[in-house]
Homo-oligomer: A and B are copies of this chain.
Amino acid sequence: MAAKPLQQEIKKKQPFEWPEQEAILNILRTGDQFQNRFGRLFRQYGLTSSQYNVLRILRGEGRPMPCLEIAERMIQVVPAITGLIDRLELQELVARNRATDDRRVVYIELTPKAVRVLGDLDGPVQDLNRTLIGHLTARELKELSHLLEKARQGMPEET
């Protein structure tokens, strides 16, 4: 597989003037491409990336969670969660339970069907992980994660 620097990949005539710009574009482009790949995998199982994320978060937590807590762990804004849960509920992958102590909060719970689907996806997801970045060494992966974590520390607060 030939080397394909971003500059050539997007057919940019001029070299990047600023390393910040180049890094940002690389992050955005890589994120988009990987997102697309996972989206296609999940679609084979009748799920979108967002839906899978909700299910994965719920399984990781191991207990029913309020909508807001789920929204916090995804990048997304709160209102998006409602529709997301709606569609998952239609597919009978989650159930809503209004809390008795604070009747404003709605707890979301995985159904056994969802646990089964998640289990079916574990193998393919890990396979895709390896397909996408299995050619990087353990040291490179660690360095990449480290740099991205450091990059996110520059995010201004207010979101």
Interfacial residues, chain A to chain B (CB-CB below 8 A): 1, 3-6, 9-14, 18-24, 26-38, 57, 60-62, 73, 75, 126, 129-136, 138, 140-145, 147-156, 159
Contact = CB atoms under 8 A, between A and B. Distances in A.
B129 A33 contact: no
Could you say how many copies of this chain the assembly holds?
A: 2
Given A75-B29, A129-B20, A145-B19, A150 B140 contact: yes
Nearest to A142: B19
B154 A26 contact: no
Contacts of A21: 126, 129
A60 B134 CA distance: 33
B144 A147 contact: yes
